[in-house]
Amino acid sequence: MSRISESHTHIARWFFLLLATAVAALFWKVIAPYAITLVTAAIAAVVLAPLEKRVRRLVRHPHVSAVIMVAFMFFLVVGPLAALLAVMLDQAFDIVASTVANPDWVASFRLEEQAGFLLLPEFIRHGILSLDVVGLLRSVAQWATSNLGTFLQGTTVFILNAFIFFVSLYYFLLDRERISKEMLALSPLRDSVDHEIAVRMVGTVRGVIFGSLIIAVVQGILAGIGLTIFGVPGAFLWAALVVIAAQVPMLGTGIVMLPCVAYLFVVGESASAVGLLIWSLALVATVDNMLKPYVVGGRTRMHGLLILVSMLGGLEAFGPIGFILGPTILAAFLVVVELYKAGILENNKAA
């Protein structure tokens, strides 16, 4: 009977393993389209958790504090985006109005006669002048027309993902203690080990976020100084937008600085345009790669080179959210290595 019982137990274990694997695969298929959104909401909840604790102590109701933090996050994200869109539309209307009021200015403008343009290397000047601007605009118009449906579909998906993000953020903030306990209960490791891994990963997420904000402010200050020196109107406003744009992976401050350079070229301030371009490339853009490994590495107790590589690798593997996921995975890996060194290796050496 014992052999039959052991055989039955063995079969039951394999059956449960197969069943659990199948259910997990189906569950992943269900949530996969929104996995990045859920991870982003979880990261936002980790960052906002200390502030939410303080708000909860004031209002003494977890549901109210979670709603307040979701509203705060909403206005923190939507507010700057709306302001940026408003500024872009306002500037666009001004350009159109000035063009309509003075059409001869457009017809008489010659890029090859601008002083700043003449400072560029000959092969670059030749490449720019050889561009078929009319054909390029026609291609852009055709592309925009053919991809209008895709754009509208993408807008719908974006709105849906935004809705899921804010709803998920609410529940992550509301139930974070219970979620944390459930996740730790599933781990076969000792509680002290689980706690060390969790603390290191949470510290890394917060270090990357706050370190990035510090560097973005530095970039905004440098951009404001450059914009003021080279005579761009509304330098303070554009500098504030640089702080926001600095959070966009890959493109970063170029979203704001390049249009400012183009503006100076268009109004005939070619020397100032070249000066601002050099300022942007030499100072504003490079300060990110120069400071981020040290600032973030100092907050997360990880080497600057590892931070930089994990950020770039995360961007390649996971897209924009990989900017945070990369260092977080690195932190978990380093904790596992430390535990291996402190546990298995030391035990083997002692034996």
Report pLDDT digits (tens) over 117-161: 555 666 666 665 565 554 555 565 566 566 666 656 667 887 888
Contact between 214 and 295 (Cβ < 8 Å): yes
Q: What is the pLDDT of residue 171?
A: 93
DSSP code at position 190: -
Handedness of CA 189, 192, 197, 199 (dihedral sign): positive
State the average pLDDT over residues 162-180: 90
Cβ density class 261-291: b for 16+ within 10 Å, e for less: bebbbbbebbebbbbbbebbeebbbebbeeb
Q: What tokens does 138 get?
A: 């026609």
Single-letter code of the amino acid located at 194: D
The segment with the largest mean pLDDT, out of 141-145, 162-166, 237-241, is: 162-166
User: pTM score, two decimals?
Assistant: 0.63
Average pLDDT over the chain reads: 76
Contact between 282 and 275 (Cβ < 8 Å): no
Rounded to whole angstroms, how far apart are CA atoms 154 and 32? 17
